[in-house]
Chain A
């Protein structure tokens, strides 16, 4: 293509006069329109103040399409919107129709400075660098580099107390041997006979009286108890020994990213986590059958005590919740 002539630039198009430029009546009308918009803004601002002062906060208003909504909030919002919009429309309309719309041209200059300036920059910089002696004083250079590195690292040390070291905290829960299962949020101890086939209960471990569970406890202790018909369960020996008469319990904290897994589908015996749709099969020990979770929900070994209350046989045999580097399985 380089040897063929491209088309030539016809140059800037001629200016076309607008109606307001040619016709003084149109000009006056445009001016009036801008003025009216500004006046509407003022009125809306007054309406804003009136709404704030005059409308009670507990009044509601019905409007078609909108339905019923809080009257003051609506009035404040609409009047604020109109106050702002009318100023904006007024100014833009003024600029479009009345202000001179002749286009002008600015010349661009190459960003790059001239060769002489660049050369002068290079020499000045080199002179300065030579004067500093950093180039040839290698001892200074090396010790300065070391000092700067240490200076930047040292303040990071005081960030150490942002938090404690994890140690084993990610691994434990409050479930112990003999912990009764307490309904959440009802707060009553659950008996085996309280749960019907097809039923679920959300439980937490029994705590000493007066002690309430913290939010941190709630990220690891919640357990979902489900009752199926014993013949619907297909567990191995150990898993089966952790159930009682078709009652099975799992950690409610998703092994993917920690959301609560409480969605039990009674007919399919599946647990669904609504965050990323990991699906667990209760009949095979909450094994993962769909979705991004990589591990089944840890099962809590339960049995009943002498009074018929459901209790934990012992704590979980693995950390609950999402994975982390130190988790071995």
Chain B
């Protein structure tokens, strides 16, 4: 008899551990700076571990050994059936199978690797110096996990910015012009010099004002909403590429 047992709230601890371990391994395999994989799988797919409150009556009993169990991924769609054997290897096999299925359904999941193969994006601060100190996101000491999460989420935004920066289509150019044509690797953009007075704009410009001016004129596209996801990503990429440059606001 197949007993449909799993909900996303009740993965066995062994399986949860195996999935997290699997994510961690992928992170180690991704050579380029802070790995993106954990963030992506963590947000898209891995079960929210102990932090989600679980009502007591929703917690099913662990499956008996040898019982056939259907395991549902946290997207509530992807599932697999396996024999519960209570071993770490068994849990890993289930996680691998779910991951394979999920990747097949989400072929763009590798966009970060694809972008980084083409364009270098400088990594953010790793915050290793604060690990073990102060208060982290869980109100305890800052862990390596905290620092890794901060770095990878920040990095992801900058990498997304790189995809827009290098695409006339994503920028909405009407003449097939993208930012990198004049600014390879975001050179000559000087984000550290803003705000500064731009006489041609008749005002003190922030970086986003100059980005919008460029989108409107050399790129001949439509101005972005300054709070749009695209603008935030573009700013992140441009600033990332000047990592280590001292701020000099107002500099020409």
Query: Do A and B originate from a single complex?
Result: no
B residues at A contact (CB < 8 Å) = none
Which A residues are within 8 Å of any B CB, using their own CB?
none
